[in-house]
Amino acid sequence: MSLSNRKIGFIGAGNMAFALMKGLVNSGLVPPENIMASDPEPSRFEGLSKSLNITITTDNIAVAKKSDIIMICVKPQVAKYVMDEISQFLKDKLLISIAAGVKTDFFEHYLSGLRVIRVMSNTPALVGEGSSAICAGKYAGKPELEIADKLFCSVGKVAVIEEKYMDAVTGLSGSGPAYVFKFIEALSDAGVKLGLSRETSRMLAAQTVYGSAKLVLETGEHPMALKDMVTSPGGTTIVGVHMLEKGGFSAAIIDAVEEATKRSEELGKK
């Protein structure tokens, strides 16, 4: 399914929108002249407009009118304001929302038959390594999911899920980069404590996490099996793993994901 002749409009031009626009242009999936974005302060995105050769405006309605696919890339508390403004211009269009916690039926309420795809992505999309989960609303189906899949594959990997699991995705991969950054920070601090320079320690920590993640994805092996490959009997690694478990490492991660999921559910209800 070609997207080269589709007009794509972004309402909201923050980090995630920028990552997706950059991915679409750099991959050649959508020509820059077919991309338009609106934001209350377009002056902040002059560099974006020039580097990608796309159009930035303050006019949400203009974006809605001129686009075949409309990306809602705003904070959840702004979603109602945006929909009140553009809903009358959405007939026969595909709406894709990355507004955290906002369910597909919220958007469908504004226009019967509106095709809606909900997406939860994450910040590694900024470097083309995002994790995105997508789900379809009541009136969207396989063709719409295929479009969303193509769009978000331009900035990483995509999973198709049922909407009831979207809050869990928010707690896992949506918030997950923060957990990983904390882990990298802790590894780096440990290296500094033991005498390594900050620069060397940070590089070793970050590359260790990056390489380990790549190993999981490319081998398809269970993380436990890969952990056992490193953990020699009576060696250094098993001592370190023991200390992590003694400190409640696994339980803390699971608790963090569960609590973030609960918070996502609360935000969705609001």
Binding-site residue set? 11-16, 60
* Nearest-angstrom CA–CA distance, 21 and 206: 26
Q: Which two tokens stand for residue 161?
A: 């899920």
Known binding residues for NADP(+): 11-16
* Nearest-angstrom CA–CA distance, 235 and 184: 23
Q: Are 10 and 60 in contact (CB under 8 A)?
A: no
Strand 55-57, strand 69-72: pairing: unpaired
Cα pseudo-dihedral 113, 106, 45, 41, rounded to 10: 120
Strand 69-72, strand 94-97: pairing: parallel
Known binding residues for NADPH: 60
Q: Which two tokens stand for residue 66?
A: 């001129």
Q: Are 48 and 21 in contact (CB under 8 A)?
A: yes
